[in-house]
Structure 1
């Protein structure tokens, strides 16, 4: 049987950064295709790169791994949900409001947003948000709500959640006919749950061939990407990305059962992953606009321009983490949880937060 005692999850922490950087790469290519018709490896024609699928798996894994023991413990459900709200909303609101302001000040960037869209975006309701690159956040928040209910009353809500999961699976395998496009029965919800399943497996069992799982996941991604480029067969992208992501996550978590030290840069990127996720869209657009105004894109070349924009965006979003997200989160946690939890809350930000 596996044990979570003493595990730092150094490699899993890195996986958070990898997931978000994959998402950033996909959005960057879409923007370059929209602006300059440059389509790196035809990524803009793909429905998804797999980054968001890995992001969902990592999200489910980490939440279940860290908080599964809180189920049924009095007061833990409120604590869990408050921590999630403190982590998610402040930074999200800041960049949503900045995007709205930019649309009013610089109409050439985007059309002014409707009040209905602003209202839905601020609450992170399941609609296309003002920050288009954060569309997946509504699925994450829905999962947080479900997990809060599970922690609050596991005996009541666990059967309800399991029935919902069963319905999701039966819909995906076409046993239950369903032609709608419902948020609640979207495959993205199931991917986060599968992340929880990987965490359950790694907590309770030991798997000998962790390297084989990692290679299997990587080869799975490579196979899908090659198929996307050459259109060999028609496949369900989310399913194969999800399966490959689960194999990767299982292999990575098994590697972390031994004490390992991750490179500090990659560990820091894991800490900063939420800031990268929230802020990368506006920064990508900003730096592309700067290069375009200076007529540097064609002179530098599209590929080199993409590299420059991505590096500048990563640096900028990391500064957002250091200067905005981290201080705000620390302050709000101190205010909300008060003195009795100060000793716990002053620990360095790591994969658990």
Structure 2
């Protein structure tokens, strides 16, 4: 399976949206859910899960449940995710040690992060900013081989998706309530049970792509324009809890799914200047997503006071966009080239020894 560049571009742009959303939240205040950025701050990660399901299905659609194939699969996933997550965890932990008086290490928390097991039993125990989504991703990696087997037949996969969808909408209809803010219900929201349907949706979209043979961009383009318009102008405001509960959850979920289908199937012609930028952002998206929190911590503590003695909220935002964002992008570029890629290749090297029976494609949230 050849690489789907449009999905990489989408992931890179969404990672940038998450970073800007956080910078704004940490300076001028969290954007309202009536704004496009306020919606992307929540649903960009949802789309990461859908993209992950798509990417994994296209890479491993012929995966057979043999012990060797499963070992190869989990080895590649581990070396794709773990090294960068370790860096994000340790750099965040170091900042907390330097900035917090009488700092004590919660060994169980840090060990569960370094082993990437916290998502299975305590999703709120993540250390780096955005780390909760990676904990969920590790749970979905374990779920994926079963989804692949079920996807061999449409009806078995449909039943599994309906079951996961029922749990998903049980969260949005009963466990989450619009009478409290999303922050107050954060532990409930980040449960992998509340996100797994998004991943299974991505697997289904990947499955559908095999039967979509059109080379005409008309249908994907219309779908993409429709979803962007609907996502932007759907009437809802207030706290983000309003877009993850009730009918709004249903609406935004399927809008995101259709958008991913459109981007997956659209044929983007290379542009001299735009395409390299999109590719660059796609390549560093996972690094930027996981490292922007640590970059924010260090620059706000050690660099911001050198520029402003008592910065206003808008001056903080300006600083984060002009100083912290470029630092994040430059750091992410070096981490991608000198840590991510070598470990990805190392994982390939280990698995190639056993001659795996599937092709490789990058997956993310690897965000």
Instruction: Determine if the TM-score, normalized by the shorter chain, exceeds 0.5.
Output: yes
- Return 5+ residue gaps in structure 1 as ranges: 33-37
Indicate the SS of the match to 1:70: coil
Cα separation, partners in 2 of 1:173 and 1:255, compared to 1, 3 Å:
same
Structure 1 residue 209 displacement after superposition: 1.2
Count, aligned residues: 334
- Structure 2 residue 142 is the aligned partner of structure 1 residue 145: yes
Aligned residue in 1 for 2:212: 205
Match of 1:35 in 2: none
Give the structure 1 partner of residue 318 of structure 2. 304
Alignment of 1:123-272 (within 5 A): 123-124=115-116, 125-126=118-119, 127-128=123-124, 129-150=126-147, 165-173=161-169, 179=175, 181=188, 186-206=193-213, 208-224=218-234, 227-228=236-237, 236=245, 238-256=249-267, 263-272=275-284
CA-CA distance at 1:14 after TM superposition? 0.6
Deviations 1:179-198, CA, capped at 9 Å, x for gaps:
49497773311111111122
The answer to whether the 8 A contact 2:23-2:317 is kept is no
Matched, 1:69 2:62: yes
Task: Show the counterpart of 2:180.
Answer: none
Match of 2:339 among 324, 327, 330: 324
**Match of 1:252, SS?**
helix
Partners of 1:150 and 1:157 within 8 A in 2: no
The 5 A counterparts of 1:80-95 are 80-95=73-88
CA contact (8 A) 1:41 1:229 kept: no
Task: Please tell me whether the aligned partners of residues 9 and 351 of structure 1 are also in contact (alpha carbons under 8 angstroms).
Answer: no
- 1:282 CA displacement: 0.6
Which of 17, 22, 29 does residue 39 from structure 1 map onto? 29
Q: 1:266 to 1:111 in 2, by over 3 A?
A: farther
Counterpart CA distance in 2 for 1:299 and 1:281 is 18
Whole-angstrom CA distance in 1 between matches of 2:100 and 2:169: 45
Structure 2: runs of 5 or more not aligned: 177-187
Over aligned residue pairs, what C-alpha RMSD do you find?
A: 4.0
Q: Identify the match of residue 100 of structure 1 among 74, 93, 100.
A: 93
SS in 1 for 2:62: helix
| Offset of residue 255 of structure 1 | 1.0
Shift of 1:137: 1.0
Assess if the C-alpha contact under 8 Å between 1:11 and 1:253 holds in 2: yes
SS in 1 for 2:145: helix
Q: 1:213 to 1:185 in 2, by over 3 A?
A: same
Aligned pairs for 1:14-29 (under 5 A) are 14-29=9-24
Offset of 1:85 from its aligned partner? 0.6
Of 66-75 and 317-326, the range deviating more from structure 2: 66-75
- Displacement of 1:149: 4.2
Instruction: Provide the residue aligned with 2:185 in structure 1.
Output: none
Change (3 A) 1:303 1:229: farther
1:298 positional shift: 4.4
Displacement after TM superposition at 1:154 (Å): 5.5
Shift of 1:140: 1.0
TM-superposed CA distance for 1:111, in Å, is 4.9
Q: Say if 1:202 and 1:254, in contact at 8 Å, map to a contact too.
A: yes
Confirm or deny: 8 A CA contact 2:76 2:344 kept in the other structure.
no
* Structure-2 change in CA distance of 1:115 and 1:230 (3 Å): closer
Quick check: 1:168–1:185 contact (8 Å CA) kept in 2?
Answer: no
* CA apart distance, 1:135: 0.9
